[in-house]
Amino acid sequence: MNWLRRLFHKSHSESQLDIELRFHLEQQIADHIVAGLPPQEARRRAQQDFGGLDRVKEEVRDTHWKTHLETLARDFRHALRNLRKDRHFSLIATLALALGIGASTIVFSVAYNVFFHALPYKDFDRSVIFEIRNTANAGGSKGSAYFSSSEFRVFREQNHVFEDIIAHAVVGRLFYDDGKSTRVLPSGANVSTNTFDYLGVPPLLGRTLSEEDGRPGAPPVFIMNYRLWQREFGSDPKILGESFILRGTPRTLVGIMPAHFNAFGASLWIPMRADEAEGHLIGRLKPGVSAEAAGAELDAIAHHLQKADPRGRFPEKFTVVPQTLVDSLIGSFKTTLYALLAAVFLLLLIACSNVANLLLARATAREREIAMRVTLGATRGRLIRQLLVESFVLAAAASAVGCGLAYFGLKAVITLIPAGTLPEETVIRMNAPVLFLSLGVSFLARRNTRGNQKRNPRLVASCLSGPFQLATGRCGAGFDDA
């Protein structure tokens, strides 16, 4: 922590430096006196060798990191004073960049959550659905995505491309009797007992399904979703373990899923017996296996089944068509997102270009100020750094305002997305990766304006002009009192 103490005790450091330099000067004077020089001549010779205490102090300060930090702090103070003087320019430039950054952040938030967090399931990006496609279109039937229990067992046992496969089938409206009244429930789903282990989402209360629930003679159970639990039972945890009559069969409620779990659009899930599991299939690919390779293997297995039973339900000519789970749910919306991303990038480029032009016009109007700074000893590097700091302050302010606009604008955009476009499980919100991306956009915006300032020929000419530019490369006064 010594460096921190030195930073906030500058006067003490300066006094120590002065004492140390004077000590070395007196030592040099003493050496000259010992060599036989008179005291006045010895002092003159020592001061000549040192070159002046003030010059030595300046050179020592230039070697300290805190000097550069103080200089940078002065640059920021000067940038804030300059921007405060020209409030109209600062406001216009900040709002122009903020609109571009805010719009970009909104679309980035939607795209990030759709592409990377569309579903709260385990390794959902490796989940694949598939269907039997009738290539001959015989009888006007294009194919089917519903598989029998025997087909499900064969696909699950004979494939080498999936870690696991689950089956689910939609159940129509359900009636349940709690002993007081009979109510109609939204649709549910019959699922294979490995479904919840496959999806990898823990329950909010109770437990999920196990293999024992699918064995013959197992007690009938079911799992309820959060919305139904909240709407019909007022989020009462005491209903867990109670028995409900569903379609005439008493079933025990063993689990309640969290709020953002809505697998297959069902309000409750009922396990199927292991030897009767059928319906739509979803498989999770092994790492490194493509959907096309999985489709080819399942196609071979399906054709083998057709040869074993030519009169079965497979068409005469067919193929197994795979599709990722995400594409099946939001495939059409991806095109819209790509178009929106291109549009907001174009908007951001336009905003950066407009602000760059404003900065160039402002720099041109400041030629006399820049010439005065060159006369006082400012180097080209110091001048460019000052302009870069001003650009950074503008970009930082625009980033803060843009993130604020994005935070409130994102809520409005979510309400404009048509229902059914995205899965109900998809939660669109701002998060850390999106924030870092917004900061990166702000940095690019700053780079855009900075590059235009560096290429401004009149500004560079001002930095290099004037017979008073110092050859030493050291910046003089003029920045703190402008």
pLDDT in tens, 138-165: 554 567 889 999 999 999 999 999 999 9
pLDDT tier at 459, thresholds 50, 70, 90: very low
Q: Which of 445, 413, 439, 442 is nearest to 113 (CA)?
A: 413
Residue-wise burial string across 422-450, b where 16 or more C-beta atoms lie within 10 A, e elsewhere: bbebbebebeeebbebbeebbebbbebbb
Q: What is the pLDDT of residue 10?
A: 54
Residue 323 lies in a domain: no
Look at the chain and report how many structural domains it folds into. Answer: 3
Compute the average pLDDT of residues 341-369.
82
Residue reference for tokens 């004979």: 158
Contact 60/373 with Cβ under 8 angstroms? no
In percent, the amount of the chain with pLDDT more than 90 equals 24
183/292 same-domain check: yes
Structural domain boundaries enclosing 363: 66-119+330-464
165/292 same-domain check: yes
pLDDT tier at 54, thresholds 50, 70, 90: low
Residue 320, strand partner residues? 132
Q: Which of 176-180, 297-301, 314-318 has the lowest mean pLDDT?
A: 176-180
98/238 same-domain check: no
pLDDT tier at 272, thresholds 50, 70, 90: very high
pLDDT tier at 448, thresholds 50, 70, 90: low
- H runs (alpha helix) in 51-148: 53-62, 65-85, 87-116
Q: What is the pLDDT of residue 345?
A: 83
12/80 same-domain check: no
55/104 same-domain check: no
Query: Residue 68 is encoded by which pair of tokens?
Result: 């550069």
247/304 same-domain check: yes
Angle 90-91-96 from CA coordinates, rounded to 5°: 100
Distances (CA, A) of 216 to 126, 275, 448: 32, 9, 69
For the chain, give percent helix, strand, coil, nearest 5: 60, 15, 25
pLDDT tier at 195, thresholds 50, 70, 90: very high
Number of helical (H) and strand (E) elements in the chain, helices listed first: 15, 14
pTM as predicted: 0.69
Residue 7 lies in a domain: yes
Residue 346 lies in a domain: yes
Contact 167/279 with Cβ under 8 angstroms? yes
pLDDT at 364 over 80: no
Q: Which of 275, 147, 286 is nearest to 211 (CA)?
A: 275
Query: Residue 359 is encoded by which pair of tokens?
Result: 């900065």
Compute the average pLDDT of residues 81-103.
86
Query: One-letter amino acid identity for 69?
Result: L
Q: What is the pLDDT of residue 463?
A: 38
Q: Which of 139, 120, 174, 128 is nearest to 280 (CA)?
A: 128
170/81 same-domain check: no
pLDDT at 468 over 60: no
Query: One-letter amino acid identity for 57?
Result: K
Residue 476 lies in a domain: no
172/250 same-domain check: yes
358/411 same-domain check: yes
